[in-house]
Structure 1
């Protein structure tokens, strides 16, 4: 009896789609009994998809069941709002794990210690009191997460600068009498790309020449935008025509090509990082952009 009551109340689950590594909400009636698979709607619009989740509609279209995707199950919640909060926390935890895995933990610890020592030099420590002896848990978590983001960005920028300095130093050490002037790579950034052949050509150029890649990163990072969604939208529209973008999706399902496999995707990530957009957020916004491209094309046609 208690189990039946719990099943009726438990309405939403947080899961990770293994194909796209995306943390999403799903009604519990979409999950398989072993919680290893989940029905997922074929809708192109993210808003329509979220509406289907919130309303817990039956996982089928025209009597035909939706495709089942492999998932990693996290937890369940009674209400949609509680599940949304849980989804946010899970994403933050996942992002923090990624930063710790790729951001040189020893350097993180050392930089945080140096930062603390510098603050202590500049100001006297406040008198301890019962009201200020403890920081709120949420504020401490947000502060740590922001610090990890800042440090990761700094480490990547320093790495890029170090590579450039080493390269310049190697060239300068060659004797002038035997040195050969480096061939100037005159890369014409013919954007936006319009055909699959254009994409293949750019992929070959990016594979062969690191200078070309840096030129594209520099060009795309200057586009800017208000927030991560706007940054990725500006990059994608500058890089691909809508017609060409409609021939891709993230994993290459159906008769479309996989955008996640392109070297161009790494270029977008590097450009977005210069605008403080993390890899996880960048991938999510690219998926949303490719998902909704057909709707934009339809609206633009008379």
Structure 2
């Protein structure tokens, strides 16, 4: 028999052999094979949970349903993934609706402010200036609130932005990106221990991204220069080196796994990234550019005299 479960660490929905489950169905053995195909073959053949006399690692799981036939279990896995995806989309829509409602409220506050007459040189100029300062303060507060809402919304929907900078504590001592085959050999030697692999996975997982393609692109760009990437393809066909044989390939898949990116999808994105290297090298001279503009401040913090301040605030309501 076969069971559909969710791996708690990665939130992946997987099919496992029922004989791998613990009696309380809260844990499952998982084969240590790097190849996705070998893992699925082990599941389908319901292999004994050991290799060379060594018992496989146990993973914490959430059990969903059991099936007699493997193909039926695969269908159940597909349905569970679709259900999770629909739930995530529904949550995202609610978040956007709340954001839109808040933005609309802020706009209404600005529109309902009392009309402000042009600045004058009369005796009540100081009183008018004080009123405009209060309005200016309100606008600044609303602007800050809007920026925070936009940031919170982005953080909630995307766990790590594509421009995030990894914590210095987990930075590797290697000089990335790798430029030569000697650099590749060096990193393979460093990744021979479980501790160094875990450190590299943590480092790469913090690069983030807005989808499967973006996640893999950010990791691959940090790992390899395009001049070195063009020497690889996934299987090593032709005169290329096999990227799939590297320990580094397995580290990248572990680092990229998240709710919207399972290992199989990750592998496919790596294949695409390597196959498009020649195109990137051809386009590179045309793709030089800077980082997009930040959200500007609503009110300039530059010191100004009273008349300039009056004119600056008045522009908020006349522009």
Relative to the length of structure 2, the TM-score reads 0.40
Larger Rg: 2
